[in-house]
């Protein structure tokens, strides 16, 4: 047996060269050229998703009434997964956004609130700066000055809501692309 070139101590014969001793770089370039020729037509450049914005750090703000806030939050969490239904206001029949808010506050605190998200936005209570949100505050969304959606703030930049037809009650982040762009304010209901 002969030793293979460049491999000291290797007793295997050197690999045989084929009829076309082309370097790997030449083969790679030829393959790339062939693939480019096959693609033909106009090339389009696709843009990736916009760069993610860093998540905001949400301060912990203690609610004015911790017992009431805890009751509201626990009930709201228990309803996650309930189907959405336009005009719905019970766990058995499903919820729309304002139906969920009304049900939770009525069930846990015997508090009757206005029925629509627009009327809830105009309800008593001060507007809250986003960095002063406390559990149990109502968060509102819309566009062009019109409120069209409401949820219950639960802390750490998250809220429970009934988002849309075909969906279920769920937990989302205020920093989410849609919610961040459509946030219109918050109200404190619990005193």
Residues serving a catalytic function are 97, 149, 161
The neighbouring-strand residues paired with 158 are 155, 173
**Cα 21 versus chain centre, distance:** 55
- For the residues of 74-85, what is the DSSP string, one character each? HHHHHTTTPBB-
Q: Give the pairing type, strands 170-173 and 138-143.
A: unpaired
* Contact assessment for residue 162 and residue 169, using Cβ atoms and an 8 Å cutoff: yes
| Distance of alpha carbon 22 from alpha carbon 25, whole angstroms | 8
Q: Give the pairing type, strands 158-161 and 146-155.
A: antiparallel
Task: List, edge to edge, every strand of the sheet that includes 146-155.
Answer: 170-173, 158-161, 146-155, 138-143, 183-187
Number of H helices, E strands in the chain: 5, 7
């Amino acid at each position: 047996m002969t030793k293979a070139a460049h491999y000291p101590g290797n007793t295997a014969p050197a690999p045989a060269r084929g009829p076309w001793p082309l370097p790997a770089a030449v083969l790679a370039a030829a393959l790339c050229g062939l693939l480019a020729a096959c693609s033909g037509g106009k090339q389009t450049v696709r843009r990736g998703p916009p760069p993610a914005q860093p998540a905001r750090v949400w301060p912990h703000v203690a609610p004015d009434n911790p017992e009431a806030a805890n009751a509201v939050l626990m009930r709201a969490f228990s309803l996650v997964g309930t189907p959405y239904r336009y005009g719905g206001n019970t766990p058995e029949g499903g919820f729309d956004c304002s139906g969920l808010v009304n049900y939770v506050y009525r069930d846990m605190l015997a508090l009757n609130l206005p029925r629509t998200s627009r009327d809830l936005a105009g309800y008593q209570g001060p507007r809250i700066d986003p960095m002063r949100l406390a559990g149990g505050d109502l968060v509102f969304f819309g566009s062009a000055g019109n409120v069209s959606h409401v949820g219950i703030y639960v802390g750490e930049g998250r809220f429970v809501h009934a988002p849309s037809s075909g969906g279920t009650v769920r937990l989302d982040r205020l920093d989410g692309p849609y919610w961040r762009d459509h946030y219109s304010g918050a109200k404190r209901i619990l005193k």
